[in-house]
Chains A and B, each alone.
Chain A
């Protein structure tokens, strides 16, 4: 469906402008086509949300790429190679590209699979393979990592910290360069514009409040080893589950230094390990919150459980009060723009024109303010509940017609207290009813109440996880470096890849692409152990 019009939407100014969009023009100091033509690339973490889109995009946009080696983890009895050819290449975002390129057999000529794991020394790649490829790989692109916000601290450390050390060892042994994908949120709890040139080494977000303290990766590793040892040893004396205490320990440690969660704390440590390695040729790409694709591989592709998907799903379930900043943006960026950004940075690195850090974010050029998102969530809820066939009609009508509101955290807490008091009263009444009317009549209502409480608790936990990004802090990540790199590309490159978050029509994106993508790809999988898009 194509709309023909002499007008184009200026998303930043919020008005239509006359004429077709300007043709992109680059200075030609970097040629991505030439850079990739002579390039053998090792891709780590090509099986995740960003990884699959990046994989499909480089195959689709740069068929000139000389060779692609992709590291894939073994899963139980399925080898890395089997996973790649049967699962990854058949997944919804990659399959259309594979078909366009001539099917799996054509890909076998182009790609080599290494079975490996970031958690193992030298990423689990055998010595023979490494000896064969030494000096022949031009760049390693690392997209692997544990992206859960608050996993048990050992899970995060093993991949995001020790895994980075394994990666560094691998890159040095192969004598190559590294494009390492991290996150904008390594900035931690802070407000305002976050520049790209903050010193990486020794960084911790509370540095300005505690100038006498020093952050050291080595000391954190010592703390970690000690903490995990003590937690495991106290298994028999402490009644709380070890996993829960490991989770809490990571979050508390992150909070102490000023990071929002274990994920951002460990990713920052990974960056600091790169910065501390003498002679390492690397650059760091930091995407913000990665969301559904705008166009590639098709509009609305999403499989990210740590994106805004939980919020969109909660909104669809009829949550009305949203604690967000009235004057703050949500730093989201579509996954296909992230993939293009990583390609631009990789081309810059291969051409010797890269900088140290690249933020991939939208608010610097085209912010989407949080109250607008709350309004979108409300309209999605209205649509869903107005046309819902099942459930209580009164509840559906309430969820359809009562508008969403922007509230404060204090107001949120008051609402929660009222809600839980109300549920307690209902519970007490049902318990009394059980003694009078008997268990047979009342038990179904008690079970329903338990389910409702569980659902409400799950929503509260999800919302709390996002508060640092919606309420407590307001971030705008500067994106000068990626804009400069994109401006150095050739016109031919710019026909294939762009960095253009300023063109995102947020209303169209959020309503017609992102929300529908989440409903299609994420909702069926939510609560299921199977992740979407894995065939």
Chain B
């Protein structure tokens, strides 16, 4: 049987999130006026999105994806490399790459399981060297985003279901696999594997991790040590 390392993205490997990613597209519209208008909309929506994220990650995703309505897919793909350089790359946590290299060296298949949208993922996946990606996709009609996300919306329980389905297809032993996330919304995903790791956890996830004896990892700190089940490779 194979084993896999499942990674969440936002907050786990990097500090930026769906809102900062959309803010990049908003401020890079085709004209200055459009950019200002789009960016204003993003700024005004921040309190609502903050509240929604506390209540439900799925609702947060649905609302944040609505902001893409009317955008051309060509532009979303065409600016993705710049988005990566400007917004995403500077927000990558110092130890993130080392962790992914470590799980690869230990024979895990690195799989990114994220609510982030597909067109933003490509440069991230190439940077980290992910083998496989499970992510969200926007709905398009004639290349224009409708603002809706294609089902199933990847968040909370759906992430866990996707992992189980993937494991069944690829003959992955989930008991030997590990998962990394920062959010309590991903508790179902973390609970699906034998080695869950609360990574840069929120207060709520930290409490859950301590209750369940899950290791806690801080990728923001260059001096943090990896959990025991990952240490042999690091020592090598």
Contacts and interface: CB of A to CB of B under 8 A. Distances in A.
A16 B143 contact: no
7 contacts: A1-B131, A3-B134, A3-B135, A5-B135, A14-B143, A379-B75, A403-B30
Interface stretch (A202-210, A438-446, A453-461, A507-515): A507-515
A4 B166 contact: yes
Contacts of A512: 77, 122
B223 interface: no
Contacts of A382: 79, 82
A15 B142 contact: yes
B133 A507 contact: no
A4 B30 contact: no
Interface residues of B, number: 34
A96 to B, nearest CB: 20
Listed residue (B77, B79, B122) with the most chain A CB atoms within 10 angstroms of its CB:
B77
A375 B137 contact: no
B212 interface: no
B74 A2 contact: no
A375 B78 contact: yes
B133 A15 contact: no
A176 to B, nearest CB: 47
A2 B133 contact: yes
Contact of A372 (B74, B80, B122): B74
Contact of A3 (B73, B81, B85, B118): B118
A1 B81 contact: no
B143 to A, nearest CB: 4
Interface of A: 1-5, 7, 13-16, 372, 375-376, 379-380, 382-383, 386-387, 403, 506-508, 511-512
The 7 A-B pairs with the shortest beta carbon distances in the complex, nearest first, are: A379-B78, A14-B143, A507-B77, A14-B142, A507-B74, A3-B133, A383-B82
B55 to A, nearest CB: 27
B85 A16 contact: no
A15 B135 contact: no
A15 B141 CA distance: 5
Nearest to A375: B74
B125 interface: yes
Chain A CB count within 10 A is highest, among B30, B74, B86, B162, for B74
Given A4-B132, A7-B150, A376-B74, A14 B82 contact: no
Contacts of A508: 77
B73 A14 contact: yes
Contacts of B53: none
Contact of B133 (A1, A7, A506): A1
Contacts of B54: none
Interface in B101-140: 118, 121-122, 125-126, 130-135, 137, 139-140
B31 interface: yes
A473 to B, nearest CB: 24
Contacts of A15: 139-143
A4 B137 contact: no
A15 B81 CA distance: 22
B236 to A, nearest CB: 26
Contacts of B143: 14-15, 507
Contacts of B77: 507-508, 511-512
Contacts of A387: 82, 85
Contacts of A375: 74-75, 78
Given A14-B144, A379-B82, A386-B85, 4 more contacts: A4-B162, A382-B79, A506-B74, A507-B77
